[in-house]
């Protein structure tokens, strides 16, 4: 069965520091992987997605993610975090009929 | 601008009442979805619809009902059978009905509180 694990519930980083959010997935076939961001009380916005090809994908707001099949991981990274990046981040895998399976989310706090 | 509109943003329900959450999209997307979000649990799929007049149960459909009479609309009714309805509800849509998966577009959510 498809599943997504985000092992970090909360992460705090200083503004300007680098960021890596972890995501591990379980899926039988080639996965379709997504990262979404959610501000408090808002819907989700797509940051980036991976379908095939280059395993390092670039997204909006300076985010990137690397797909590693051998580790079943799709970690999100940003070289320098801004205060406006404070939000909750969700990793998801796409399944049949365009159903999505989401991780439990990682809340990012940014220290000034 | 195209998008998904959920209304109301906040909804209060008395125990034993049914309430309906609205979701409208003008993206001309085929598929629509309802997710429930609880703190620390991520998003869980309630119902989804790939085409008008057809819908399927997701992982937590008990106590919920939906209809899909128009392509643009996918209302969710939270019935009195739902024992713990207080949550944040998100509606989403996608362009296609089958793989390869495309990204989902989300509404701004409805926060339902039982009083």
pLDDT, tens digit, for every residue of B12-67?
989 889 999 999 999 999 999 999 999 888 899 999 999 999 999 999 999 999 99
Angle made by CA atoms B105, B35, A109, in degrees to the nearest 5 = 75
- Give the per-residue pLDDT at B41: 83
Say which DSSP state B101 is in.
P
Of residues B70 and A98, the one with the higher pLDDT is: B70
Given a contact cutoff of 8 angstroms between Cβ atoms, the answer to whether B49 and B70 are in contact is: no
Per-residue pLDDT of B86-105, as tens digits, reads 999 999 998 876 555 578 89
Structural tokens at position B69: 């009479």
- Give the per-residue pLDDT at B92: 94
Mean local confidence (pLDDT), A1-6: 87
Note whether B46 contacts A: Cβ–Cβ < 8 A.
no
CA dihedral A84, A86, A88, A91 (to 10 degrees): 70
Collect all residues of chain A within an 8 Å Cβ-Cβ radius of residue B48: 97-99
Give how far the C-alpha of residue A81 lies from the chain's centroid of Cα atoms, to the nearest Å: 15
Is B101's CB within 8 Å of A95's CB?
yes
Per-residue pLDDT of A14-59, as tens digits, reads 999 999 999 999 887 778 899 999 998 889 999 999 988 888 999 9
Per-residue pLDDT of A72-96, as tens digits, reads 999 999 999 999 999 999 999 987 7
Test mutation, A1, A36, A97, chain B, max B CBs within 10 A: A97
Phi/psi at B111 (5° precision): -95, 115
- Give the per-residue pLDDT at B100: 53
Per-residue pLDDT of A49-78, as tens digits, reads 998 888 899 999 999 999 999 999 999 999
- Three-state secondary-structure class, residue A100: strand
- Give the per-residue pLDDT at A51: 85
CA distance B41 to B29: 27
User: Cβ neighbours of residue A83 under 8 Å, at least 6 residues apart?
Assistant: A15, A110, A112
Site of tokens 């739902």: B82
- Give the per-residue pLDDT at A68: 94
Q: Is A89 exposed, middle or buried (0-12, 13-18, 19+ CB in 10 A)?
A: buried
Is A43's CB within 8 Å of B94's CB?
no
Structural tokens at position B36: 């429930």
């Amino acid at each position: 069965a498809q599943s997504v694990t985000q092992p970090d519930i909360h992460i705090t980083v200083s503004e300007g520091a680098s960021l890596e959010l972890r995501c591990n997935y379980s899926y039988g076939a080639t996965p379709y992987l997504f990262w979404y961001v959610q501000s408090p009380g808002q819907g989700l916005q797509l940051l980036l997605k991976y379908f095939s090809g280059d395993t390092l994908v670039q997204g909006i707001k300076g985010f990137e993610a690397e797909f590693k099949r051998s580790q079943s991981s799709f970690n999100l990274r940003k070289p320098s975090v801004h205060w406006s990046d404070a939000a909750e981040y969700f990793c998801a895998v796409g399944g049949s009929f365009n159903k999505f399976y989401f991780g439990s989310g990682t809340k990012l706090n940014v220290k000034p | 601008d195209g998008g998904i509109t959920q209304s109301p943003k906040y909804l209060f329900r008395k125990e034993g009442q049914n309430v309906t959450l609205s979701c409208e999209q003008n993206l001309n997307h085929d598929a629509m979805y309802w997710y429930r979000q609880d703190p620390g649990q991520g998003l869980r799929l309630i119902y989804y619809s790939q085409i008008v007049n057809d819908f399927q149960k997701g992982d937590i459909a008990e106590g919920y009902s939906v209809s899909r009479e128009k392509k643009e609309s996918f209302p969710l009714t939270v019935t009195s059978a739902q024992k713990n309805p207080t949550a944040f509800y998100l509606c989403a849509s996608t362009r296609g009905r089958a793989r390869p998966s495309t990204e989902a577009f989300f509404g701004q959510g409805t926060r339902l509180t039982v009083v």
